[in-house]
């Protein structure tokens, strides 16, 4: 478990550097962070995806999951703006990072780098290790909580709650399907849709 805790500490440091200290361009910083964590996860536990996992059913499942999660966030954003005066400004600040890169480049980064990489690290490595140690339910909940916790570095309540919601959703999907492909497809399609194609704000 020491390698897991060390990896989580490294993830927390990366998230502080990216969201709080902002030492580099956001997208460059995220690419460095996710690529490093993904490489580390693969070195420690191997690649959690096999070629045979890429079948039609898991891909379609991921597409439906992306649509479901988008709907959840659309509803959540609508209710949040009714309940909290800070909701809209905080969501707006999340979308503000789009100004740090070209739209096409951001879309490619989200689809091919950060989304697959985060799933390999957070679900394929962190959650899998925690489930192995604490059981399916507790491991899933703990992994989702840690995923949300690193986003506290942003100082953005809405982003942290979004991470918790998405972490629980993709973690549940991984438990249900026992295949990381639906999670990768869902994460990649969802991020590009909600951040670029069909923003909720």
Question: What is the mean predicted confidence (pLDDT) over 21-28?
Answer: 96
1: pLDDT confidence band, cut at 50, 70 and 90? confident
Question: What is the mean predicted confidence (pLDDT) over 76-97?
Answer: 96
Residue-level pLDDT at 201: 84
152: pLDDT confidence band, cut at 50, 70 and 90? very high
Query: For 54-76, how does the pLDDT look when each residue is reduced to its tens digit (9 = 90+)?
Result: 999 999 999 999 999 999 999 99
Q: How many CA atoms lie within 13 A of 106 on its CB side?
A: 19
CA 88 – CA 69 distance, rounded (Å)? 19
pTM value is 0.96
Q: Is the pLDDT of residue 43 over 90?
A: yes
128: pLDDT confidence band, cut at 50, 70 and 90? very high
Q: Is the pLDDT of residue 99 over 90?
A: yes
Question: Using an 8 Å Cβ cutoff, are 151 and 198 in contact?
Answer: no
**pLDDT above 70 as % of the chain:** 100
169: pLDDT confidence band, cut at 50, 70 and 90? very high
Residue-level pLDDT at 94: 96
Q: 118: part of which helix (H) or strand (E)?
A: helix 115-118
CB contact set of 81 (below 8 Å; sequence gap of 6+):
87, 88
193: pLDDT confidence band, cut at 50, 70 and 90? very high
Question: What is the mean predicted confidence (pLDDT) over 70-98?
Answer: 96
CA 109 – CA 114 distance, rounded (Å)? 6
Q: Which of 145, 158, 168 is nearest to 68 (CA)?
A: 168
Q: Is the pLDDT of residue 184 over 90?
A: yes
Average pLDDT, the chain: 97
Q: Which of 155, 175, 154 is nearest to 18 (CA)?
A: 154
């Amino acid at each position: 478990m020491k390698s897991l805790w060390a990896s989580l500490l490294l993830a927390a440091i990366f998230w502080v550097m990216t969201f709080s200290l902002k030492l580099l361009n956001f997208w460059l910083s995220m690419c460095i962070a996710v690529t490093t964590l993904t490489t580390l996860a693969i070195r420690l536990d191997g690649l959690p995806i096999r070629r045979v996992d890429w079948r039609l059913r898991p891909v379609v499942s991921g597409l439906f999951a992306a649509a479901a999660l988008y709907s959840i966030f659309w509803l959540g954003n609508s209710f949040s703006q009714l309940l909290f005066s800070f909701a809209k400004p905080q969501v707006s600040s999340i979308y503000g990072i789009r100004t740090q890169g070209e739209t096409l480049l951001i879309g490619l980064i989200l689809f091919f780098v950060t989304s697959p990489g985060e799933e390999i690290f957070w679900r394929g490595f962190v959650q899998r290790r925690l489930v192995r140690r604490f059981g399916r339910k507790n491991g899933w909940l703990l992994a989702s909580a840690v995923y949300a916790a690193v986003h506290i570095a942003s100082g953005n309540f809405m982003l942290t709650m979004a991470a918790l919601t998405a972490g629980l959703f993709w973690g549940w999907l991984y438990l249900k399907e026992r295949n990381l492909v639906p999670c990768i497809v869902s994460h990649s399609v969802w991020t590009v849709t909600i951040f670029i194609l069909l923003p909720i704000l």
